[in-house]
Amino acid sequence: MFAPAEEGKPSSADAICGKEDIMNKRDHLQALREADAYMEKVKDEVQKHPWRQDYHYSPTVGWINDPCGLVQIDGYYHMLCQHYPFSGAWGMMYLSHARSKDLVHWERLPEAVAPSEPYDYWDEKHGGVYTCCGIDDEGVYKIIYTGHTEAFGQVECLATAEDGIHFQKYEGNPILSKCPEGMRQNDFRDTKVWKRGKKWYLTAGTTDGKFGRVALYHSDDLIHWEFQSFIWESRGEYGSMPECPNFFEVDGKWVLIFAPLELEDRKAMYLVGDFDYDAGRFFPQTVGEVDWGLDYYAPQVFKDDMGRTLMMGWMESWSFHPWYLGNAKNGQNPHGYVYDCSEIGFNGSISTPRTISVCHDGKLKFDPVPELKTLRKDPRTQYNMMVKAEEKIPVTAGDNVHCEIFAAFDLTQTSADVIGFGLRSSREHETLLEFDLAHGEIIFDRTRSGNKSAVVRKCNLESVRKDELIVHIYMDSTTIELFTDDNRTVMTNCIYSPVESDGLYLYAKGGDTLVSRLQTWGMEKVNQ
């Protein structure tokens, strides 16, 4: 167990570890070069796999999770991701790097940060550079990331890319070497940084092992930080720790988005309320789900130069991988998975970028960014299509795999109990997306989706009380994103269906439904 640094003790690596322990480090530049060289060597073979995403960002090679470092500088959107370059399974974390002019077409850049120092590198198999926050410091791209080792536990570290691409670690790292009193040093991570006036503020997730808290610090220079308070704490109702907390202001309200650790059915939640800077306390008034799906985790939020509050998340889930924690213990398979990504050389992708706004009742809505429309091709539109009870109506949307679907159902002309979509359908496989009007539920059924956990996911449907149901779907090789209820209800799920499963149809149960407008598009491939 990590023994925290004593009060007043210097926080630099040399001071904490002692000069003799600096042997436990490696050349940072060399580590980056080795990662880039490996990916260049195997990328052509890895990218042949049919589960590669067409238009959602995914790694060239290797495992990714947690999009982070999100910031817009000099016209470029920058995105880092936790990344293990050498396998499709999770390993010692690096940070990958990509940039974009439009949030759609991403240019993959050289590996950004590698574990190399005593505060982020343990040995050849241990340590890691964990989720960071991107900062625009007068036009200079900086990040504050979490370093993880056996000796240090988890500490916060600074790195700077003067040219926007090549990062240099701060020589005095870590800049935050001690977690708040009473909290666990091994669970002190996931920074969010912003500036108010001349002062910088930083939040990080913490826990005492039972109850989670979000810690608040302030600084004048991004290097010397002073603990101020815990802005919010959970008493267990929101899991044991708020992972990846994002604290930000939008539409005159303050929002805390976080991943509630150990609440398997709740992947990303939000609280909306007010914040008192002087007291350092957040007072939530509204609670909701960022995404109701099984595979949306660790979203990160940032603002762009148009004033938009943007969010991107990791489209995967820890709990469905056979090697994760105790899932594979004694050959047990509690989630029914048979998928091991380590063999195919890559895993993970990033969601469609979404804007965040506050509704009149304090809940949030999440709109896909309009830039996604630039990928549309092969448009098709149908009006006033009646779907009879127990009927299946074939639909064409591009190749029916990499596509966008918009459907408006006239509920005043609907007698059906259930209306739904059959997605990625074949003789042996299909995914069902149902809207149960009788019970006011959305049902995502992947029991026949292919080699992924056979789980049914449900959530409430608000639109059942209205005259119209709007359904907006983005599909890619292994992902399905649903937006409905005026984009207040979002559901993201992964499926791993065979290539030949490309059928698409509409159906109704217990009565008829009128589709007043159905629009479909294929989507251009942007990933190589």
Q: How far apart, in whole angstroms, are the C-alpha atoms of residue 442 and residue 457? A: 8
pLDDT per position as a tens digit, 82-132: 999 999 989 999 999 999 999 999 999 999 999 999 999 988 888 999 999
Query: Is residue 351 one of the residues assigned to a domain?
Result: no
Alpha carbons within 13 A on the beta-carbon side of 118: 21
Q: How far apart, in whole angstroms, are the C-alpha atoms of residue 109 and residue 336? A: 37
Query: Pick from 144, 177, 210: which residue ends a domain?
Result: 177
DSSP-H helix ranges across 194-331: none
Give the domain CATH number at 173: 2.115.10.20
| Contact predicate 414/437, CB 8 Å | yes
Q: What's the burial of 105, exposed, middle or buried (CB within 10 Å: 0-12/13-18/19+)?
A: middle
Range of the domain at 457: 376-523
Edge to edge, what strands does the sheet with 121-123 contain? Answer: 121-123, 126-137, 140-149, 153-161, 168-169
Alpha carbons within 13 A on the beta-carbon side of 157: 33
pLDDT at residue 389 in the model: 97
Whether 210 and 74 share a structural domain: no
Counted domains in the chain: 3
Q: What's the burial of 273, exposed, middle or buried (CB within 10 Å: 0-12/13-18/19+)?
A: middle
Query: Is residue 60 one of the residues assigned to a domain?
Result: yes
Query: Pick from 120, 145, 177: which residue ends a domain?
Result: 177
pLDDT at residue 23 in the model: 42
Edge to edge, what strands does the sheet with 441-448 contain? Answer: 392-394, 503-509, 418-425, 430-436, 441-448, 456-460
Q: How far apart, in whole angstroms, are the C-alpha atoms of residue 148 and residue 170? A: 16
| Global pTM exceeds 0.85 | yes
Q: At a CB cut-off of 8 Å and minimum separation 6, what does 243 contact?
A: 189, 190, 205, 258, 259, 260, 261, 298
Phi and psi torsions of 505, nearest 5°: -155, 160
Q: How far apart, in whole angstroms, are the C-alpha atoms of residue 478 and residue 496? A: 5
Q: How far apart, in whole angstroms, are the C-alpha atoms of residue 467 and residue 274? A: 34
Q: How far apart, in whole angstroms, are the C-alpha atoms of residue 405 and residue 34? A: 42
Query: Is residue 486 one of the residues assigned to a domain?
Result: yes
Residue type, 170: Y
Whether 210 and 140 share a structural domain: no
Whether 19 and 165 share a structural domain: yes
Query: Is residue 359 one of the residues assigned to a domain?
Result: no
Which residues of the chain register pLDDT less than 50? 1-23, 327-338
Query: Is residue 326 one of the residues assigned to a domain?
Result: no
Q: How far apart, in whole angstroms, are the C-alpha atoms of residue 295 and residue 13? A: 37
CA torsion 431→288→282→304, rounded to 10°? 50
| Contact predicate 213/183, CB 8 Å | yes
Whether 220 and 146 share a structural domain: no
Q: Specify the length of the chain in residues.
A: 528
pLDDT per position as a tens digit, 24-51: 578 999 999 999 999 999 999 999 988 9
Whether 137 and 229 share a structural domain: no
pLDDT at residue 6 in the model: 33
Residue type, 254: W
Query: Is residue 333 one of the residues assigned to a domain?
Result: no
Whether 206 and 167 share a structural domain: no
Whether 389 and 296 share a structural domain: no
Alpha carbons within 13 A on the beta-carbon side of 413: 12
Whether 25 and 165 share a structural domain: yes
Q: At a CB cut-off of 8 Å and minimum separation 6, what does 367 contact?
A: 354, 355, 357, 483, 487
pLDDT at residue 330 in the model: 43
Rg (alpha carbons) of the chain, rounded to whole number: 23
Q: How many CB atoms lie within 10 A of CB 162?
A: 12
Give the domain CATH number at 484: 2.60.120.560
| Contact predicate 318/494, CB 8 Å | no
pLDDT at residue 339 in the model: 59
Q: At a CB cut-off of 8 Å and minimum separation 6, what does 221 contact?
A: 200
Whether 159 and 134 share a structural domain: yes
| Contact predicate 457/491, CB 8 Å | yes
The token pair at 218 is: 């302030």
- Nearest CA to 138 out of 201, 79, 80, 200 is that of 200
Q: What's the burial of 374, exposed, middle or buried (CB within 10 Å: 0-12/13-18/19+)?
A: exposed
Query: Is residue 358 one of the residues assigned to a domain?
Result: no
Query: Is residue 279 one of the residues assigned to a domain?
Result: yes
Query: Pick from 305, 324, 356: which residue ends a domain?
Result: 305
Whether 107 and 134 share a structural domain: yes
Whether 19 and 134 share a structural domain: yes
| Contact predicate 296/267, CB 8 Å | yes
**H or E stretch covering 58:** none
Q: At a CB cut-off of 8 Å and minimum separation 6, what does 235 contact?
A: 211
Q: How many CB atoms lie within 10 A of CB 338?
A: 12
CA distances from residue 289 to 276, 283, 337, 375, 463 in whole angstroms, order as listed: 24, 18, 25, 28, 16
Cα dihedral 220, 223, 227, 230 sign: positive
Whether 142 and 262 share a structural domain: no
β-sheet bridge partners, residue 227: 217
